[in-house]
Amino acid sequence: MKVTLSLETTTSSDVSIMVDALRASTTITLALNNFKKIIPCFSPQEAFKLKEEVGGIIAGERGGQMIEGFDIGNSPQKVEMYESPSDVLILTTSNGTRILENMNSTVLIGSMVNAKAVGIKSTELARSHIDVVMAGVNGKFVLEDFLASGEILYWICQNLDDCEISEYAKSAILASRDYESVKEGFLTSRTGKRLTELGHEKDVEYCLLKNISENVAVYENNEITLIKD
C-alpha cells in the first residue's frame, strides 16, 4: 500500500484523510457525538443561506474567532456539548472545510482525538494509496497538522503488512512519537499561540487528547457523516 503525506491538495484518487488539527478536524469528529450530519460550507454567506434552506445550527470561525451571527464558534468542546433540537450542523472554517471542496477520493477526517480509528479504517477502505492531507493555514505548512498526521500515519502503518511510505510521511511519524514534544509543538505553534491569545487554550489542549474517540467521519455528497461499518 502506498502511503503519503501532502499539504492542501491530495495526490490520491483512492483514500485521503484531511487533517486540520487546530481545530476543524477535531470539531467535526466530536460534533458527530451530538449531530447526525455536518454540512461543510465555504463562506459565512453560504452558511446563513443553508440555515434558511435546511435549518440546523451554524458554527465556524475566521481567523480563529467566532463569526458574527453564528450560533457557535469552532470549539470542539462547545460543539460536542451544544444542546439543540436540530441534528444538522453547518460548519465553515478558515482552512479545513475549504480544502474538502476539491478532493476527489474517499475522504475521511483525521485528528489526534481519532488518529488510531481513522488510520485503521483507511487501511480497510483503500485499494492502493492512502494520502494524509494537511490543511495548513492559507497554503502554508503548520506544525500541528504535521504532528497529528504523524500519529495517524503511525496507526496506518501498524495496520499494514506492506507499507510503502514516503520519507516525508515517515518523518511525521518519527516527529509524533514523543508525546511531550507533540504537546509542546501544538501549544507553541503559530496557530496554538494565536488561539491561546484569543482565549482558546482549552480548545488547543482538547485537540491534543490522543485517541479518545472511535468516530470516523466521511465526506461525500457535500455532507459529513459517521462512516458505516
Listed residues 46, 71, 96: the one ending a domain: 96
- In this structure, the answer to whether residues 90 and 186 fall within a common structural domain is no
Smallest Cα–Cα separation from 159: which of 125, 182, 108, 112? 125
Q: What is the pLDDT of residue 102?
A: 81
- Find out whether 173 and 154 touch, Cβ atoms under 8 Å: yes
pLDDT of the chain, 229 residues: tens digit per residue: 999 999 999 999 999 999 999 999 999 999 999 999 999 998 999 999 999 999 999 999 998 899 999 999 999 999 998 999 999 999 998 887 888 888 889 999 999 999 999 999 999 999 999 999 999 998 899 999 999 999 999 999 999 999 999 999 999 999 999 999 999 999 999 999 999 999 999 999 999 999 999 999 999 999 999 998 7
User: Judging by DSSP bridges, how do beta strands 57-62 and 65-66 pair with one another?
Assistant: antiparallel
Predicted pLDDT of residue 64 = 86
Is 87 in the same domain as 137?
Answer: no
pTM for the whole thing? 0.96
Q: Tell me: do 130 and 217 sit in the same domain.
A: yes
Residue-range definition of the domain harbouring residue 83: 28-96
Assigned C-alpha cell, 96? 479545513
195 and 132 in a common domain: yes
Strands 106-110 and 15-19: parallel
**What three-state secondary structure class fits 223?**
strand
pLDDT digits (tens, 9 = 90+) for 204-227: 999 999 999 999 999 999 999 999
* 122 and 61 within one domain: no
Write the pLDDT tens digit of every residue in 42-81: 899 999 999 999 999 999 999 889 999 999 999 999 999 8
Dist CA 57 CA 15 (whole Å): 29
Task: State how many domains the chain has.
Answer: 2
The Cβ-side half-sphere exposure at 219, using a 13 Å CA radius, reads 27
Among 76, 96, 116, give the residue marking a domain's end: 96
**Residue 94 near residue 137, CB atoms below 8 Å:** yes
**Helix ranges, the chain (H):** 24-31, 44-54, 76-81, 96-100, 115-125, 143-158, 167-176, 179-188, 190-197, 201-207
Same domain assignment for residues 75 and 185? no
Q: Which of 96, 118, 144 finishes a domain?
A: 96
- Give the burial class of 209: count Cβ atoms within 10 A of its Cβ; 0-12 exposed, 13-18 middle, 19 or more buried: middle
If you ran DSSP here, which 8-state letter would residue 5 be given? E
Q: Could you write out the DSSP letters of every residue in 133-163?
A: EE--BTTB--HHHHHHHHHHHHHHHHT-SS-
pLDDT at 28: 96
The pLDDT score that the predictor gives to residue 228 is 82
217 in the same domain as 148: yes
Give 109's strand partners: 18, 217
CA contacts within 13 A on the Cβ side of 47:
27
Q: How far apart are CA 212 and CA 220, in angstroms?
A: 24
